[in-house]
Amino acid sequence: MSDPIIRIEGLDKIYAGKSGSGKEDVGSFQALRQVDLSIERGEIFALLGPNGAGKTTLISVVCGLASPTRGTVWVDGFDNVKQYRDARERIGLVPQELTNEAFETVWNTVSFSRGLFGKPPNPKHIERVLKSLTLWDKRHNRLMTLSGGMKRRVLIAKALSHEPRILFLDEPTAGVDVELRREMWEVVRELRDQGVTIILTTHYIEEAEEMADRIGVINNGEVILVEETNALIEKLGRKQLTLQLFDPLDSIPDSLATFELALSDTGEELIYSYESSSKQRDSSGISTLLRALEAAGIGVKDLHTRQSSLEDIFVDLVKERA
């Protein structure tokens, strides 16, 4: 963790308050606030945040599509404003929207993208990219004849056409079905295995949890947390023990007041929340609780535990900051 491929320091982005016509002042809007972030070589980094959090803005600034108001971004050592071309050439961007040229063939559209970066043609590279994305058999097809999944893969192929070291995927699986989502995850993992650093944005927590080595949470333009995925789940995760009772309770007896308990609406279930971090994996809390229940004459029919997911963690974090 010492040689980041992307370094972002003190980044602010304020959109000027002009209406579409540019005449009317509609008030400026700060979309990024003092963002400091480093992306390590070869990792998959997920930027997780609700709608409007600033994910696309952050990507746009790093990719040089939007200018920073303050702060600096280095891409593989190059300042992305002062050394724009060197920085940009290292980046591939898969945008959120499917904007493909319907009548163009797969081969032409991907080759053309490479040309946009001023790179000389390299049919071998294009062949490699298309094969790795299982698009080779479709290379002579017009884009309009492809399935949704294939069209998404064409976007990735275009982004990889100029041999970037870093790939940004903006909401790669927004609105796609579960099967396609899994297929996209597989493609992304393979790219990482080939040495490409991946930064993806998502508001699907499952996606971040499944894919990312590290997760950054962004809310209201602020990066509020950056953590290794496993550590995040471990550190902030809580477990819940649900106890199904023989006889429903009206309220939680005073003798159980020391435990963090909640009663279900029907009174048939007691829900006990406790820390699940490794330091506190001592489950004595549970046996003490069970003894206390017995002493209070409360019979337990069944029980099960549940690890709180990143979803709960995320909701809590965003709530805390609201």
Using CB under 6 A as the binding rule, the residues of this chain from 38 to 67 that contact ligand ATP are 49, 51-57
Taking the complex as a whole, the smallest distance from the CB of residue 96 to ligand ATP amounts, in Å, to 7
Sheet bearing 44-48, strands edge to edge: 91-94, 166-170, 197-202, 44-48, 214-219, 222-228
Using CB under 6 A as the binding rule, the residues of this chain from 175 to 234 that contact ligand ATP are 203
Smaller CB separation from ligand ATP, 19 or 284:
19
Per-residue x/- track, 292-311, ligand ATP (CB under 6 A): --------------------
Smaller CB separation from ligand ATP, 29 or 103:
29
Rounded Cα–Cα distance for residues 12 and 66 (Å) = 11
Instruction: Measure Cα distances from 216 to 82, 120, 124, 130, 228 in Å.
Output: 27, 36, 36, 31, 9
Taking the complex as a whole, the smallest distance from the CB of residue 185 to ligand ATP amounts, in Å, to 19
Strand partners, 14: 30
Taking the complex as a whole, the smallest distance from the CB of residue 45 to ligand ATP amounts, in Å, to 15
Strands 44-48 and 70-75: unpaired
Smaller CB separation from ligand ATP, 142 or 203:
203
- Of residues 15, 117, 204, 274, which one binds ligand ATP by CB under 6 A? 15
Strand partners, 38: 7
Taking the complex as a whole, the smallest distance from the CB of residue 170 to ligand ATP amounts, in Å, to 7
Taking the complex as a whole, the smallest distance from the CB of residue 165 to ligand ATP amounts, in Å, to 23
Q: Taking CB under 6 A as the rule, does residue 21 contact ligand ATP?
A: no
Number of residues interacting with ligand ATP: please give it, by CB under 6 A.
12
Smaller CB separation from ligand ATP, 46 or 106:
46
Smaller CB separation from ligand ATP, 47 or 243:
47
Extract long-range pairs of 204-210: CB within 8 Å, 24+ residues apart: 204/173, 205/48, 205/309, 205/310, 205/311, 205/314, 206/310, 206/311, 207/46, 207/173, 207/181, 208/46, 208/48, 208/310, 209/233, 209/309, 209/310, 210/185
- Given the rule CB under 6 A, which residues bind ligand ATP? 15, 29, 31, 49, 51-57, 203
